[in-house]
């Protein structure tokens, strides 16, 4: 029972880290695309 709880917590933390990392990348790419199209980001 404790092992399942630990796995669930680790999965949650990894999911949050992945979302944070990918959102940072999305913002960078959006800024690059907007700059290329000469639109203010």
Using CA atoms, how far apart are residues 25 and 33, in angstroms rounded to an integer?
12
The pair of three-digit structure tokens given for residue 34, joined into one six-digit string: 């907007």
21, 11 contact by CB (below 8 A): no
- The domain total for the chain is 1
pLDDT value of position 12: 97
Residue 14's CB is within 10 A of a number of other CB atoms, namely 10
Range of the domain at 23: 1-41
- Evaluate if pTM is beyond 0.85: no
> Sign of torsion, CA 29 35 39 40?
positive
Residue-wise pLDDT tens digits, 4-34? 999 999 999 999 999 999 988 888 888 889 8
């Amino acid at each position: 029972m404790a092992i399942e709880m630990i796995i669930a917590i680790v999965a949650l933390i990894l999911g949050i880290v992945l979302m944070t990392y990918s959102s940072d990348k999305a913002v960078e790419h959006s800024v690059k695309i907007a700059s290329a199209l000469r639109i203010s980001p």
